[in-house]
Amino acid sequence: MKILIIHGPNLNLLGQREPEIYGSLSLNDINAEISREARQFDFKPESRQSNHEGEIIDWLQNAANENFSGVIINPAAFTHTSIAIRDAIAAIKLPVIEVHLSNISDREEFRQKSLTAAVCRGTISGFGATSYLIALTAFKHLLVH
């Protein structure tokens, strides 16, 4: 099964950007961990990162046509601002799990509200890169059982 992993804006700067909040792993490191973990479930992850809202929307809308079984998305700052990404998630028939490296409930007030969470199957937040791995385990239970 193919799982689409979408990393939102500024996540290309992981490892350099505020490591005290987001950790010291780079996006390449995180993608490598995702690939290792996915193998045990016979998932084929495809990771994509964009700083552009429209590109993320296109990926979501085309995911089923590209034969993905589900989506793991870290919308990053778009979590709190993008009704368009929220609507794209709501419009597709695939299950979507939202992840965050930091605990958004323990952040600045403007980061505590997720516009996208209500249209996702679930949200995992606050476990650093492990948030993505937990999402893969959740998909194992959603898609395989």
Pick the catalytic residue from 22, 52, 80, 145. Answer: 22
Q: Which domain holds residue 84?
A: 2-144
22 counts as catalytic: yes
Low-confidence ranges of the chain (pLDDT < 50): none
Pick the catalytic residue from 100, 132, 141, 145. Answer: 100
CA distance 110 to 114: 9
132 counts as catalytic: no
pLDDT at residue number 89: 98
Total count of domains within the chain: 1
| 9-28 residue pLDDT tens | 999 998 887 777 677 789 99
The torsion region of residue 27 among left (phi > 0), alpha (psi -120 to 50) and beta comes to: alpha
Residues 6+ apart with CB under 8 A from 126: 100, 101, 102, 103, 104, 105, 106
Q: What CATH number is associated with residue 6?
A: 3.40.50.9100
